[in-house]
């Protein structure tokens, strides 16, 4: 299936993901968790980053994400570890899962199969299976919904969080025609330029998602940074900026007022170095809805840009080569 078709089906994927979540069987918590750790990389890991941001203002315990081979020292018997790997064979995530079990943590798995499914079954770990056979980056709806399911099941997110995702799917279906029109126009405007994505702190996960989609689908380099942090470093670097850079600001009009003002000032400063500045405004009546809006917008932008560049959005041969070489040692 072409990536554009997979992107188009994202709202339907959310509806299917909610159905999976609603029938998922998870054991009751035997303890009160002191912290949460989400392990995953790439298309499987970005959901963890977004859920951690979602939990920031509501969850009573810290929620962290690990995107490597190791888990933090604090992991223990009162840690909930959620392992997310679409293929089930991500070697870094497998290593984290094994370490978490050895430390006595409560471990839940999200995967379509592979070694993680086998390990989970062999060790009686709760597992939520999602449909396989697709590019992992096209299955964020499946994984993020199950992350929300697990978190809400253990009282770490609101009970109606999964239901809210269902509503987000309907919302995106309604917005899709407008999103396609916007991203077709924007893709033409940034063609041949290096995109730079700026957002405020609560939206870094979706900025990373957009960066990753431009990398994998559009086959281009880009970068992102976060306000206010970039005001203490990267803003000075704009002295070396030029018209080959296109800046994408991710806006939420209901953001913290000081950050809104910073956005305005950043735009003024950056406009001295490049005229290619574009504003993308979140839509939705909740933080979760706004996350999904930005995700869907960014996914469409990446495939529209891929079309203009004449590249295959699905192809990731260099990643396949890397994994093949790693498997030899």
Average pLDDT score over residue span 30-41 = 96
326 occurs within a structural domain? no
204 occurs within a structural domain? yes
Which of the following is catalytic: 216, 224, 276, 290? 216
Angstrom distance (rounded) from CA 12 to CA 98: 34
Tell me: do 8 and 154 sit in the same domain: yes
CA atoms within 13 A on the CB side of 259: 19
In the residue annotation, 296 being an active-site residue is answered as: no
Domain closes at, from 107, 125, 159: 159
Tokens of 255: 């953001």
Domain closes at, from 100, 134, 159: 159
String of DSSP letters for 172-193:
HHHHHHHHHHHHHHHHHHHTTS
The mean pLDDT value of the chain amounts to: 96
Tell me the pLDDT tens digit for each residue of 226-239. 999 999 999 999 99
Tell me: do 93 and 176 sit in the same domain: no
Give me the pLDDT at residue 329, please.
82
316 occurs within a structural domain? no
Tell me: do 40 and 95 sit in the same domain: yes
Total domains in the chain come to 2
CB 269 within 8 A of CB 238: yes
Tell me: do 117 and 201 sit in the same domain: no
Tell me the pLDDT tens digit for each residue of 153-194. 999 999 889 999 999 999 999 999 999 999 999 999 999 999
54 occurs within a structural domain? yes
Which of the following is catalytic: 30, 177, 232, 329? 232
Tell me: do 21 and 108 sit in the same domain: yes
In the residue annotation, 323 being an active-site residue is answered as: yes
Tell me: do 135 and 213 sit in the same domain: no
Q: What is the pTM of this model?
A: 0.96
Closest alpha carbon to 314 in 135, 131, 46: 135
Residue 111: which CATH number? Answer: 3.40.50.10490
Tell me the pLDDT tens digit for each residue of 87-142. 999 999 999 999 999 999 999 999 999 999 999 999 999 999 999 999 999 999 99
Evaluate if residue 13 carries a pLDDT over 90: yes
Q: How confident is the model at residue 325 (pLDDT cuts 50, 70, 90)?
A: confident
Q: Domain range for residue 243?
A: 168-309
In the residue annotation, 4 being an active-site residue is answered as: no
Angstrom distance (rounded) from CA 202 to CA 52: 10
């Amino acid at each position: 299936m072409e990536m554009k078709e997979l992107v188009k089906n994202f709202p339907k994927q959310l509806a299917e993901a909610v159905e999976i979540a609603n029938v998922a069987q998870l054991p009751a918590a035997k303890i009160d968790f002191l912290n949460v750790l989400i392990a995953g990389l790439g298309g499987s890991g970005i959901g963890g980053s977004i859920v951690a941001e979602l939990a920031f203002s509501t969850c009573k315990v810290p929620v962290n994400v690990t995107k490597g081979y190791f888990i933090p020292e604090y992991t223990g018997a009162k840690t909930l570890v959620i392992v997310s790997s679409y293929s089930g064979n991500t070697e870094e995530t497998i290593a984290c899962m094994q370490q978490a079990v050895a430390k006595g943590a409560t471990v839940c798995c999200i995967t379509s199969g592979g070694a993680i499914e086998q390990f989970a079954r062999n060790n009686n770990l709760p597992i939520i299976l999602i449909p396989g056979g697709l590019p992992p980056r096209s299955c964020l709806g499946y994984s993020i919904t199950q992350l929300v399911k697990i978190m809400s099941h253990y009282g770490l997110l609101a009970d109606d969080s999964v239901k809210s995702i269902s509503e987000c799917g309907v919302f995106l279906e309604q917005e899709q025609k407008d999103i396609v029109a916007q991203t077709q126009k924007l893709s033409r405007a940034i063609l041949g330029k290096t995109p730079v994505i700026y957002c405020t702190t609560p939206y870094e996960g979706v900025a990373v998602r957009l960066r990753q989609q431009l990398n994998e689908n559009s086959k281009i380099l880009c970068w992102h940074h976060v306000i206010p942090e970039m005001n203490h470093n990267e803003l000075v670097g704009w002295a070396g900026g030029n018209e080959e850079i296109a800046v994408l600001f991710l806006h939420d009009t209901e953001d913290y007022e000081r950050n809104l003002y910073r956005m305005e000032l950043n735009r003024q400063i950056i406009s001295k170095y490049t005229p290619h500045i574009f504003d993308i405004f979140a839509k939705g009546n909740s933080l979760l809805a706004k996350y999904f809006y930005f995700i869907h917008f960014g996914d469409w932008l990446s495939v529209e840009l891929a079309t203009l560049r004449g590249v295959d959005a699905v192809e990731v041969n260099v990643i396949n080569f890397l994994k093949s070489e790693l498997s030899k040692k």
